[in-house]
Amino acid sequence: MNPPNQALHNSNLRIATTDLVLMALFASLGLATKNLLYPIIGPMMGAIYVPTGAVTGGLYMMWPVMAFGFIRKTGTATMVSLTQAFISLILPYGNFGILSFIIYLGPGLAIDAFFLLTRHKSCCIACCMGASAIANVIGTILVGATVLFLPWIVLTFLAVVAAISGCIGGFIAHILLVRIEKIGLRGKKNEQK
């Protein structure tokens, strides 16, 4: 009998069942936030012809950022976004048909790439705000270009609005992660890899 592969056993690629459950939980929280905020803020934003997702997107982009900060494994935000894409197909808001996979995966990939390149893991306020802002900008541009077919000037304005909203969502995500760490539900930064 072969001994278990030690490299895989200690690998960052290994995902525990608890991690998958947490990813599903964060994906559900993101979609629940979207479904709660859209009917409230949608009519106000529709009156001034601003897509609701650009304004409120930061509040649902905070969930993949929080998932990454809670689980601290590369690919977490992508898995959360993929789960959201599948679930969104049965929900009334945020359902873009087959384009849902592109629209939801883009921000998740952007969050994972941001944390991979910066070597941060939702550890400070700057990285949480940056990741959430980039994810919201990517999501807004994807919806604006592939679904709404908006001109570049409008997309540029919406990208700025999305970045501001994303920074607010990242700020909230960081505050929540710090509170979760204080009550002991998340390990200390130096205890995890």
Query: Tens place of pLDDT for every residue, the chain, 193 residues?
Result: 555 545 445 555 577 888 999 999 999 999 888 888 888 888 888 888 888 888 888 898 999 999 999 998 999 999 999 999 998 888 776 678 889 899 999 999 999 999 999 998 888 999 999 999 999 999 999 999 999 898 999 999 999 999 999 999 999 999 999 999 998 877 655 444 4
Structural domain contains residue 8? no
Residue 71 neighbours by CB under 8 Å, 6+ apart: 19, 22, 23
Q: What is the CATH number of the domain that holds 43?
A: 1.10.1760
Structural domain contains residue 69? yes
For the chain, what is the mean pLDDT? 87
Structural domain contains residue 4? no
CA-based nearest residue to 137, from 16, 55, 38, 17:
55
Give me the domain span that covers residue 35.
16-182
176 is written with which tokens?
């929540």
CA 56, 129, 182: angle at the middle one, nearest 5?
A: 105
* Number of domains present in the structure of the chain: 1
d(CA 159, CA 126) in angstroms, rounded, equals 19
Rg (the chain; Cα; Å): 17
Structural domain contains residue 191? no
